[in-house]
């Protein structure tokens, strides 16, 4: 699996998630589509960065370098997600919509599982 094909998988996943979010926002008025849109695009950007780090680490023949790259990408992903959530909470502290934050947690997990699948494909191809 090349970086371009894995990027296409991640973009397709993002579009699929955005379609589901749009449909959910049409039927349930508690959700704010703008918040979900910005959060999903932010998570997708973080996972693209993480995917780039993992792809660069998978090019190295040393298995320890691959493990280090995956660890670094996971830590970067974790801290950027915490920073993004903190900024959202700080900006909207007076009228915070917690439902949007809780809805973005499974979105993070979907991206995480997609990235784990792609990283395992990188590891198998470059082994």
> Tens of pLDDT along 43-64?
999 999 998 888 888 888 887 8
* 5, 126 contact by CB (below 8 A): no
pLDDT tens digits, 62-98: 878 888 888 898 899 999 999 999 999 999 888 888 8
Distance CA 51, CA 37 (A): 21
pTM over 0.85: yes
* 69, 56 contact by CB (below 8 A): yes
Closest of 44, 70, 64 to residue 122, by C-alpha: 70
Distance CA 84, CA 39 (A): 8
Average pLDDT over residues 28-42: 90
Percent of the chain, pLDDT > 90? 44
Q: Is the dihedral of CA 5, 7, 8, 12 positive or negative?
A: positive
Distance CA 6, CA 4 (A): 5
Average pLDDT over residues 35-42: 93
Please report which residue ranges of the chain form alpha helices under DSSP H: 3-27, 33-58, 63-91, 98-125
């Amino acid at each position: 699996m090349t970086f371009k094909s894995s990027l296409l998988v991640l973009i397709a996943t993002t579009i699929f998630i955005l379609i589901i979010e749009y449909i959910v926002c049409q039927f349930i008025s508690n959700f704010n589509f703008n918040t979900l849109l910005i959060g999903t695009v932010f998570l997708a950007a973080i996972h693209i960065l993480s995917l780039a780090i993992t792809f660069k680490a998978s090019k190295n023949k040393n298995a320890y370098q691959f493990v280090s790259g995956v660890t670094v990408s996971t830590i970067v992903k974790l801290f950027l997600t915490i920073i993004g959530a903190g900024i959202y909470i700080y900006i909207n502290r007076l009228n915070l919509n917690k439902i949007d934050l809780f809805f973005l947690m499974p979105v993070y997990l979907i991206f995480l599982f997609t990235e784990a699948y792609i990283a395992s494909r990188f590891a198998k191809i470059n082994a």
